[in-house]
């Protein structure tokens, strides 16, 4: 076995690896988060690095993506280049997974705060000649018999010291009706929990004061599993085909959660030992990975999950760095790929108790749609693909600094860039806006066809000359090279428009099929809730104009932010809402769209770039 | 406009009724089924394919053109068409995605192939039996999930085990599939989209 040292700049991180691993794996080991939208297949070219040292010859995939000139300058695709001996790698910022803008606000549901975690400050009489009760009996008696004795030895081990440390002043920690620990002194104020939304792309974590339900801190980060691909299918593939794959995915996400816990603790000046419970939501795959359950049944039809009910497990068992006696509650899922995050959305938006026809759409790589009719609930997932996250778009990027996030095209072209820096690409809302504006301006027709400059004699010259013909076909220049942050123009191409059509066609077909199955009309929707980060940034007018959602009154369309995360917070702070979540998980009817006849027709029709209503 | 030009136009624009009328008229005027396919349907679908590749047409336009084409072909008996080859096509085991596969099947039909569509979730055994029964020139497989594409390799092995691998070409496609993957599993061809699939299939037939 030959060990090689691979160093990464800037940052100076190093990894000592066996010869034969890819630069991407070495980067992961060194803690350098490289982008990998295609899952390391050498197709997307986003993990570009410049390397010196002993590496394998360029692969066919690299020769396709890189020019001779670039290869001679040492540019490589990290997912393809294999370490032969020591190497030095320079990583351009554009190849790093970067922190992006995250929605951490949302809707709320009024509830009585009644967390599963209870702390009781007790003053115990110290043992005396006529009172030789055991320490445990002393605590149990003081608690008044409503609590089950501990099932872990650790609680007993802490007990004698705690009782004697401050003259009998102790705090009993009770979770779910069981005594789990006894702490010395009165620590009843230090009672926190965390709620975490484990997204395929982004993980958001909230620190909550359990006594009041207040949020004391928020932190978020990019799910490090992204190095195995952007979508859940690539990760499933990794989990089932790699030795120890599920465990590696589990360790990666737990590592991030622990970092986020440390961050929020620092923000709020709280010890991680004061955190007694974590409540998690996430899609079915994320739930499996968090608990380390191999998702074998999800890899092919009929997509049977390993579990779907709510799970209550020890935090230590998962390696979650909170109080060692703490618990982790995984919110239940619904069925197929529709998971706990959708239960969270329903919980937060009160769809389970509302009247009339309401629809919630979580627009993401996997779109989830919930239809609520007088409290009857139906949910489906629809594979929109990652276009809404900016992936598979030629100059797509996540909603991070440098991303164009909104566009107007009238007499001139105007755009807004996140972070007020020169633009480097487009994020999902920018793509939606750009396409909606090009359709409005007539540069793209309702079928999604780009019109050539010669067909556009009625368009103002300064806009028309932005329509250019390239090897790949027509494209529209949003920002010319001299305005951009990359030295190249930022464009949206004819192919990008097609990618968006596929993504939004899948979402709309999902909404349309669900409604038609229930014999309902889109016009009857009383409120349409857009959940998720994308839902918050998208312009409603654009979403309606190009038919991502049905053409209803703008006032009836409401962005509800990270509702899944809010749902997790509610389940953390209220045991009755946690029971409600269990009930929702059982009650929602999961609709498998792939089994639905007519999907094809709805999908094709839903690709039109115009306001849409009933299809079929 | 000559009848055959009108027929092409009707297919390209997806006018179903018109296509049917024109095919009937061509038959009444004494054109053979083979002529109608070779001079009318196939060139029309070729143009549709070109427009698709140039991003001028997309899935909906492709779909309506294919529906018009099928309507026209329904008037022609299979024997009279004299197909250029037989393709057995399906989405692999465990995978239920059929939109891409349907587009490919229709394009092949439009190009003059006899197409035996096995649908979705097709096992290696089913592919092999159908290839045998139909003396297929080509087995075409589609997969949309990285988790199911491994079944393509199994099918190729099943064809070999059945002793028909040498006279059956294997063509594969689908979002996660690449040329490199085709090489790895020793498929004969890979096509990135429905239009290229026709070209590839014709080339495989000639090889």
pLDDT tens, B11-35?
999 999 999 999 999 999 999 998 9
Cβ-based contacts of A449 with chain B (< 8 Å): 55-58
Q: Is B13 on the interface with A (CB under 8 A)?
A: no
**Model confidence over A442-485: pLDDT tens digits?**
999 999 999 999 999 988 899 999 999 988 789 999 999 999 99
Q: Give the best residue of B102, B148, B176, B190 to mutate against chain A (max A CB count within 10 A).
A: B176
How many residues in total does chain A contain? 616
Position A237 confidence tier, pLDDT thresholds 50, 70, 90: confident
User: How far is the C-alpha of B106 from the C-alpha of B89, rounded, in Å?
Assistant: 11
A429 and A485: one domain?
Answer: yes
Using the Cβ of B8 and the Cβ atoms of chain A, whether some distance falls under 8 Å is answered with no
Q: Is A44 near chain B, with CB under 8 Å?
A: no
**CA–CA separation, A147 and A167 (whole Å):** 23
Beta carbons of A234 and B93 less than 8 Å apart: no
Give me the sheet containing A327-330, strands edge to edge.
A215-222, A202-209, A192-198, A275-282, A327-330, A311-314
- Give chain B positions within 8 Å (CB) of A237: 145-147
Report how many domains make up chain A. 4
> For residues A446 and A117, what is the distance between their CA atoms, to the nearest angstrom?
55
Q: Domain of A207: which CATH number?
A: 3.30.420.480
A365: closest CA of chain B, how far (Å) = 14
Tell if the CB–CB gap between B147 and A498 is shorter than 8 Å.
Answer: no
Contact A107, A568 (CB under 8 A): no
Question: What does the pLDDT read at residue A30?
Answer: 77
Q: Is A61 on the interface with B (CB under 8 A)?
A: yes
Whether B193 has its CB under 8 Å from any CB of chain A: the answer is no
Query: What is the average pLDDT value for chain A, to the nearest integer?
Result: 89
Mean pLDDT value across residues A233-251:
91
**Nearest-angstrom CA–CA distance, A86 and B187:** 37
The CA-CA-CA angle for residues A601, A493, A426, to 5°, reads 100
Mark whether A199 and A141 lie in a shared domain: no
Contacts of A234 in chain B (CB under 8 A): 146
- Give dist(CA A46, CA A547) in Å, integer: 30
Within a domain: A568: no
Backbone angles phi, psi at A528, to 5 degrees: -120, 115
Specify the pLDDT at position A208.
93
Q: Taking CB atoms and an 8 Å cut-off, how many pairs form between chains A and B?
A: 69
Listed in sequence order, the DSSP H helices in chain B are: 3-12, 16-28, 33-35, 42-53, 59-73, 78-81, 99-110, 124-133, 150-161, 179-184, 194-206
On whether the CB atoms of residues A216 and A191 are closer than 8 A, the answer is no
In a domain, A372, yes or no: no
- Joined together, the tokens standing for residue B201 give 């299939």
Residue-wise pLDDT for A556-591, tens only, equals 998 888 889 999 999 999 999 999 999 999 999 998
* CB atoms B60 and A449 under 8 Å: no
Chain A partners within 8 Å of B70 (Cβ): none
CATH number of A169's domain: 3.10.20.880
For A448: left if phi > 0, alpha if psi spans -120 to 50, otherwise beta; the answer is: left
More confident residue, A578 or A411: A578
Distance CA A102, CA A13 (A): 27
Nearest to B147 among A61, A300, A608 (CB): A300
Residue where a domain terminates, one of A140, A161, A184 = A184
pLDDT at A100 over 50: no
Q: Measure the CA–CA gap between A214 and A211, rounded to whole angstroms.
A: 8
Contact across the interface for B97 and A300, Cβ inside 8 Å: no
**For A471, which residue in chain B has the nearest alpha carbon?**
B54
CB A557 within 8 A of CB A544: yes
Summarize pLDDT for A131-150 with one digit per residue, the tens. Answer: 999 999 999 999 887 799 99
Instruction: Examine the domain organization and report whether A309 and A405 are in the same domain.
Output: no
**A582 in any annotated domain:** no
Interacting residues of B34 by C-beta distance below 8 A, sequence separation 6+? B80, B81, B82
Token digits of residue A249: 């995915």
* Distance (Å, whole) CA A178 – CA A184: 18
A176 and A137 fall within a common domain: yes
Closest CA–CA distance from residue A38 to any residue of chain B (Å): 9
Supply angle C-alpha B32, B35, B36, rounded to 5. 90
If asked whether residues A177 and A203 sit together in one domain, one would say no
The span from the CA of A121 to the CA of B40, in Å, is: 88
User: Given this model, what pLDDT does residue A386 score?
Assistant: 65
pLDDT greater than 50 at residue A46: yes
Domains in chain B and their CATH numbers? 3-80 (1.10.1240.10), 86-206 (3.40.50.280)
The phi, psi pair for A218, rounded to 5°, reads: -135, 140
- Closest Cβ–Cβ partner in A240, A447, A502 for B61: A447
On whether both A156 and A212 belong to a single domain, the answer is: no
What pLDDT, on a 0 to 100 scale, did the predictor assign at position A597? 77
Q: What angle do CA B14, B60, A527 make, to 5 degrees?
A: 135
Choose the closest CB to B59 out of A236, A237, A604.
A604
B33, B80 in Cβ contact below 8 A? yes
From the list A301, A448, A595, which residue is nearest B58 (CB)? A448
By Cβ distance, the residue of B54, B58, B102 closest to A600 is: B102
Q: Which residue of A has its CA nearest to B52?
A: A449
Q: Which residues of A102-125 are buried (b: 16+ CB within 10 A; e: fewer)?
A: bbbebbebebeeebbbbbbebebe
Å between A510 CA and nearest CA of chain B: 15
Phi-psi region of B147 (alpha: psi -120 to 50; beta: other; left: phi over 0): alpha
Of chain A, the percentage scoring pLDDT greater than 90 comes to: 58
Quick check: B55 and A299 CB within 8 A?
Answer: no
The mean predicted confidence, pLDDT, of chain B is: 92
Round to whole Å and give the CA distance between A536 and A559. Answer: 5
Q: Which residues contact B3 (CB under 8 A, 6 or more apart)?
A: B22, B25, B26, B29
Neighbours of B144 (CB within 10 A): 23
Distance from CA of B101 to the nearest CA of A (A): 12
Parent domain of A28? 3-95
Domain assignment present for residue A60? The answer is: yes
pLDDT for res A411: 83
DSSP 8-state secondary structure symbol assigned to residue A99:
-
pLDDT at A410: 86
Pairing of strands A366-373, A376-383: antiparallel
Of the three residues A127, A162, A184, the one that is the final residue of a domain is A184
Each residue's pLDDT tens digit, A67-93: 888 888 899 999 899 999 999 998 876
Which uninterrupted H or E stretch holds B141?
strand B138-142
Q: Which residue has the tokens 């593939």?
A: A237
Q: Are residues A215 and A280 in the same domain?
A: yes
- Tell me the per-residue pLDDT of A370-390, one tens digit each, with 9 for 90 and over: 999 988 999 998 877 667 766
Burial label, A412 (beta-carbon count in 10 A; 0-12, 13-18, 19+): exposed
List helix spans (H) across A144-244: 153-165, 232-241
Tokens of A334: 């619904």
Give the mean model confidence (pLDDT) for residues A212-217. Answer: 86
- Entry pTM: 0.77
Instruction: In whole angstroms, give the CA distance from residue A124 to residue A160.
Output: 12
Residues A267 and A178 in one domain: no
pLDDT tens-place string over residues A520-547: 999 999 999 998 767 677 888 999 999 9
Contacting A residues, span 498-517, partner chain B, CB-CB under 8 Å: 498, 501-502, 505
Does position B66 have pLDDT exceeding 50, yes or no? Answer: yes
Name every chain A residue with its beta carbon within 8 A of the beta carbon of B57.
449
Answer yes or no: is pLDDT of A425 > 50. Answer: yes
In a domain, A145, yes or no: yes
A49: domain CATH number is 3.10.20.30
A365 — contact with chain B (CB < 8 Å)?
Answer: no
**Is there a single domain that holds both residue A204 and residue A318?**
yes
Best mutation target, A237, A241, A302, A595, to test chain B (most B CBs within 10 A): A237
Cβ-defined contact of B102 to A474 (cutoff 8 Å): no
- Give the Cα separation of B110 and B103 in Å (integer): 11
Q: Return the pLDDT at A220.
A: 86
Structure-block tokens of residue B103: 């587009």
Decide if A108 is inside a domain.
Answer: no
Question: A417 in a domain, yes or no?
Answer: yes
Question: What is the structure's pLDDT at A102?
Answer: 36
How close, in Å, is residue B56 to chain A by CA atoms?
5
Q: In this structure, are A435 and A478 located in the same domain?
A: yes
Average pLDDT, integer, range A6-10 = 85
CB atoms within 10 A of CB A482: 8
Is residue A473 within 8 angstroms of chain B, CB to CB?
Answer: yes
Residues of A in contact with B178 (CB under 8 A): 41, 43
Q: What is the rounded distance in angstroms from the CA atom of residue B1 to the CA atom of residue B7?
A: 10
Instruction: Tell me whether residue A546 is in a domain.
Output: no
| Rounded average pLDDT over A3-9 | 87
Indicate the pLDDT class of residue A12, thresholds 50, 70 and 90.
Answer: confident
Looking at the structure, tell me whether residues A148 and A81 fall in a common domain: no
* Residue B157 near residue B185 (C-beta atoms within 8 A): no
- Between these two residues, A237 and A94, which has the higher pLDDT value? A237
**Can you give the pLDDT at residue A1?**
55
Instruction: Please state, in angstroms and as integers, the Cα–Cα distance from residue B24 to each residue in A48, A143, B36, B69, following that order.
Output: 58, 90, 10, 13
pLDDT in tens, A154-180: 889 999 999 999 999 999 999 999 999
> For residue A487, which phi and psi values (nearest 5 degrees)?
80, -5
**Do residues A208 and A253 share a domain?**
yes
Tell me if B94 and A498 make a contact (CB, 8 A cut-off).
no
Whether B193 has a pLDDT exceeding 90, the answer reads: no
Res A249 pLDDT > 80: yes
Complex-level ipTM: 0.74
Q: A253-262 pLDDT, tens per residue?
A: 999 999 999 9
What is the distance between the alpha carbons of residues B189 and A559, in angstroms, rounded to a whole number? 47
């Amino acid at each position: 076995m030959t060990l090689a040292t691979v160093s990464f700049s800037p940052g100076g991180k190093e990894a000592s690896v066996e010869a034969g691993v890819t630069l991407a794996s070495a980067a992961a080991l060194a803690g350098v988060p490289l982008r990998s939208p295609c899952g390391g297949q050498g197709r997307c070219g986003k993990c570009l690095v410049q390397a010196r040292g002993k590496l394998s010859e360029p692969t066919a995939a690299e020769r396709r993506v890189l020019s001779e000139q670039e290869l001679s300058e040492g540019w490589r695709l990290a997912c393809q280049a294999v370490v032969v001996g020591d190497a030095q790698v320079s990583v351009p910022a554009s190849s790093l997974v970067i922190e992006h803008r995250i929605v951490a606000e949302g809707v709320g549901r009024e509830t009585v705060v009644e967390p599963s975690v209870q702390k009781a400050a007790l003053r115990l009489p110290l043992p005396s000649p006529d009172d030789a009760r055991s320490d445990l009996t002393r605590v149990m008696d003081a608690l008044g018999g409503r609590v089950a004795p501990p099932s872990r030895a650790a609680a007993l081990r802490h007990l004698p010291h705690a009782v004697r440390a401050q003259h009998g002043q102790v705090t009993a920690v009770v979770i779910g009706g069981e005594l789990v620990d006894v702490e010395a002194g009165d620590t009843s104020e230090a009672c926190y929990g965390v709620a975490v939304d484990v997204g395929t792309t982004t993980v958001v974590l909230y620190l909550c004061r359990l006594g009041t339900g207040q949020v004391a801190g928020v932190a978020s980060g990019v799910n490090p599993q992204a190095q195995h691909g952007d979508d859940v299918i690539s990760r499933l593939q990794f989990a089932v085909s790699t030795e120890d794959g599920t465990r590696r995915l589990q360790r990666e996400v737990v590592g991030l959660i622990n970092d986020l816990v440390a961050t929020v603790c620092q923000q709020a000046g709280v010890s991680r030992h004061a955190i007694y419970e974590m409540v998690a939501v996430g899609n079915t795959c994320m739930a499996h990975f968090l608990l380390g359950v191999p998702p074998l049944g999800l890899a092919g039809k009929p997509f049977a999950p390993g579990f779907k009910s709510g799970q209550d497990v020890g935090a230590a068992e998962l390696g979650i760095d909170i109080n060692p006696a703490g618990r982790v509650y995984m919110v239940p899922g619904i069925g197929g790929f529709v998971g706990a995050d959708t239960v969270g959305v329903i919980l937060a938006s009160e769809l389970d108790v509302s009247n009339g026809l309401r629809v919630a759409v979580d627009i993401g790589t996997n779109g989830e749609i919930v239809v609520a009719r007088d409290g009857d609930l139906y949910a489906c997932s629809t594979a929109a693909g990652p276009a809404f996250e900016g992936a598979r778009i030629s100059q797509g990027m996540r909603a991070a600094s440098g991303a164009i996030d909104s566009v107007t095209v009238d007499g001139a072209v105007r755009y807004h860039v996140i972070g007020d820096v020169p633009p480097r690409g487009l994020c999902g809302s920018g793509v939606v806006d750009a396409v909606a504006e090009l359709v409005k301006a007539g540069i793209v027709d309702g079928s999604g066809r780009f019109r050539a400059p010669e067909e556009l004699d009625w368009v103002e010259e300064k806009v028309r000359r932005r329509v250019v013909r390239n090897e790949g076909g027509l494209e529209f220049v949003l920002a010319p090279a001299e305005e951009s942050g990359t030295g190249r123009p930022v464009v949206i191409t004819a192919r990008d428009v097609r990618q968006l059509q596929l993504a939004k066609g899948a979402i709309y077909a999902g909404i349309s099929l669900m409604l038609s199955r229930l014999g309902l009309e889109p016009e009857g929707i009383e409120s349409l809730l857009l959940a998720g980060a994308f839902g918050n940034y998208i312009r409603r007018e654009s979403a309606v104009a190009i038919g991502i959602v049905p053409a209803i009154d703008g006032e009836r369309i409401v962005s509800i932010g990270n509702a899944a995360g809010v749902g997790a917070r509610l389940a953390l702070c209220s045991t009755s809402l946690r029971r409600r979540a269990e009930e929702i998980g059982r009650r929602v009817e999961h609709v498998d769209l792939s089994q639905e006849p007519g999907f094809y027709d709805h999908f094709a029709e839903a690709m039109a770039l115009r306001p849409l209503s009933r299809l079929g | 406009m000559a009848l055959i030009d009108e027929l092409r136009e009707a297919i390209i624009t997806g006018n179903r009724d018109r296509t049917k009328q024109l095919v009937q008229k061509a038959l009444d005027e004494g054109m053979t089924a083979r002529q109608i396919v070779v001079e009318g349907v196939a060139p029309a679908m070729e143009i549709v394919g070109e427009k698709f590749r140039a991003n001028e047409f997309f899935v909906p336009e492709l779909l309506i053109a294919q529906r018009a084409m099928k309507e026209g072909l329904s008037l022609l008996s299979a024997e009279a068409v004299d197909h250029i080859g037989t393709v057995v096509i399906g989405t692999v085991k465990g995978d239920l995605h059929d939109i891409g596969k349907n587009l490919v099947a229709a394009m092949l039909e439009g190009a003059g192939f006899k197409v035996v569509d096995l649908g979705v979730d097709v096992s290696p055994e089913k592919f092999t039996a159908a290839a045998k029964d139909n003396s297929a020139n080509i087995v075409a497989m589609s997969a949309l999930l990285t988790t199911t594409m491994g079944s393509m390799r199994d099918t190729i092995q099943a064809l070999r085990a059945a002793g028909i691998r040498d006279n059956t070409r294997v063509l594969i496609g689908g979002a996660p599939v690449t040329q490199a993957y085709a090489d790895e599993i020793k498929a004969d061809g890979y096509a990135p989209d429905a239009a290229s699939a026709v070209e590839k299939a014709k080339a495989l037939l000639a090889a």
